[in-house]
């Protein structure tokens, strides 16, 4: 395979991989034990129902989420006595988000775990959801400040460590922000701007988190919109409470990827032609013609020209050849091969 072929193959593979990665940023499921391979419309049980229009969990998973003792991960929420119904509901909502959301792609990281190969990090959680979670759970009891790693696991079930006693949530976590960001450590980051945050609890057929995830992915240059026309889109700035109108060019894919590929191919073809036809300059000068034998050797091209010349042109060419031979060793026609 020549150099041009190798360049084309490498560029094509890279381009295909980029398209694949762009496609997988949005509307995708986490790689976890109970997650589906791709989101779909599903009838879901209880508080997970709003996710049913496009979900990464099955109805069976949604059902098992909503138990004080979940058989999905053998997690006992009533590890310090019976947890209140209102607090349990908030944890169920958080679990529905974890198992069912197809909008967490921009925040996914690879991990090595027995229950998942990916996890999301610092999902921007709406402050209203956080405050509601805190208010419904602050008087309930727990013994750890991290539900992911704080427990002792005995016979496959979580238990309070021997050196920890049960205390109210408000004593252990101090405030709502610390609670929401620490109870499942690093999963969530409280966000006050409602245009930039992901919701646990919502109603209606449209999931508001899809729009937030898309804006975040575009801002972080993880995703190239497929629209062919420029669409003005509001994207939040890093200054809380402010947004700027940004025009997302629909032809960005052509400008940044397709055009460079075309230019590379043209340069490669031109280089190939110059390499194969490097003897053109000598042949055309001596033959007195503008013929460009890009893919032929000089001698064959010269003979082709001679066959099509008139007797007068033949004589002129032979005279020029004799003049040249006086300065050429051995009287040979100098052709750079």
Distance CA 171, CA 307 (A): 102
> Between 178 and 1, whose confidence is greater?
178
pLDDT at 8 over 60: no
What length does the chain have? 337
Number of C-beta neighbours around residue 197 at 10 A: 23
Mean pLDDT across 224-240: 47
Give the up-direction half-sphere exposure of residue 263: CA atoms within 13 A in the CB hemisphere: 7
Kindly give, in sequence order, each residue whose CB lies less than 8 Å from that of residue 29, ignoring residues fewer than 6 positions away: 35, 36, 37, 38, 39, 56, 102
Question: How confident is the model at residue 264, as a pLDDT?
Answer: 81
pLDDT at 330 over 50: no
Beta strands in the chain (DSSP E): 69-70, 75-76, 108-110, 118-120, 123-126, 141-142, 152-154, 157-159, 167-168, 188-191, 231-236, 243-248
Report pLDDT digits (tens) over 183-214: 999 999 999 999 999 999 998 778 999 999 99
> Between 170 and 5, whose confidence is greater?
170
Question: How confident is the model at residue 227, as a pLDDT?
Answer: 57
Kindly give, in sequence order, each residue whose CB lies less than 8 Å from that of residue 92, ignoring residues fewer than 6 positions away: 46, 47, 48, 65, 66
263 band by pLDDT with thresholds 50, 70 and 90: confident
Distance CA 296, CA 279 (A): 9
Distance CA 164, CA 147 (A): 14
Kindly give, in sequence order, each residue whose CB lies less than 8 Å from that of residue 274, ignoring residues fewer than 6 positions away: none
- Conformation bin of residue 18: beta by default, left when phi > 0, alpha when psi is -120 to 50: alpha
Report pLDDT digits (tens) over 106-115: 999 999 988 9
Closest CA to 121 of 183, 28, 186, 29: 186
> Between 13 and 187, whose confidence is greater?
187
Report pLDDT digits (tens) over 113-168: 889 999 999 999 999 999 999 999 999 999 999 999 999 999 989 999 999 999 99
Closest CA to 296 of 321, 314, 308, 278: 278
Tokens of 76: 């006992």
Question: How confident is the model at residue 298, as a pLDDT?
Answer: 46
Long-range contacts of 228-234 (CB under 8 A, 24+ apart): 234/195
Partners of residue 6 on adjacent β-strands: none
Closest CA to 289 of 270, 308, 275: 308
Tell me the average pLDDT of the chain.
Answer: 77
Percent composition of the chain: helix, strand, coil (DSSP 3-state, to 5) = 45, 15, 40
For tokens 């003005």, what's the residue? Answer: 232
Greatest CA span in the chain, whole angstroms?
A: 114
**DSSP character at residue 208:** T
Report pLDDT digits (tens) over 45-80: 999 999 999 999 999 999 999 999 988 999 999 999
**Percent of the chain residues past pLDDT 70, beyond the cut:** 64
């Amino acid at each position: 395979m020549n150099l041009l072929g190798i360049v084309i193959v490498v560029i094509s593979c890279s381009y295909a991989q980029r398209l694949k990665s762009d496609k997988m940023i949005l509307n995708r499921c986490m790689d976890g034990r109970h997650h589906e391979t791709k989101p779909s419309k599903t009838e879901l049980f209880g508080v997970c129902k709003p996710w049913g229009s496009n979900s990464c969990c099955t109805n069976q998973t949604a059902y098992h989420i909503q138990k004080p003792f979940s058989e999905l991960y053998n997690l006992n929420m009533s590890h310090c006595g019976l947890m209140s119904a209102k607090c349990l509901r908030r944890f169920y909502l958080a679990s529905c988000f974890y198992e069912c959301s197809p909008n967490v792609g921009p925040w996914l990281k690879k991990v090595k775990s027995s229950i998942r190969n990916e996890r999301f990090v610092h999902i921007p959680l709406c402050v209203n959801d956080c405050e509601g979670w805190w208010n419904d759970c602050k008087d309930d009891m727990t013994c750890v400040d991290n539900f992911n790693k704080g427990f002792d696991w005995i016979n496959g079930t979580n238990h309070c460590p021997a050196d920890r006693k049960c205390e109210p949530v408000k004593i252990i976590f101090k405030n709502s922000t610390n609670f929401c960001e620490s109870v499942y450590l690093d999963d969530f980051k409280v966000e006050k701007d409602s245009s930039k945050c992901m919701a646990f609890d919502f109603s209606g057929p449209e999931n508001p988190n899809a729009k937030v995830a898309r804006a975040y992915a575009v801002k972080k240059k993880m995703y190239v919109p497929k629209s062919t026309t420029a669409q003005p889109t509001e994207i939040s700035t890093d200054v809380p409470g402010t947004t700027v109108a940004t025009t997302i060019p629909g032809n960005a894919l052509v400008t940044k990827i397709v055009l460079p590929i075309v230019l590379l191919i043209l340069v490669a073809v031109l280089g190939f032609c110059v390499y194969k036809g490097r003897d053109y300059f000598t042949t055309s000068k001596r033959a007195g013609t503008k013929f460009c034998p890009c893919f032929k050797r000089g001698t064959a091209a010269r003979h082709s020209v001679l066959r099509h010349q008139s007797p007068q042109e033949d004589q002129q060419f032979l005279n020029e050849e004799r003049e040249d031979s006086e300065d050429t060793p051995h009287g040979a026609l100098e052709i750079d091969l």
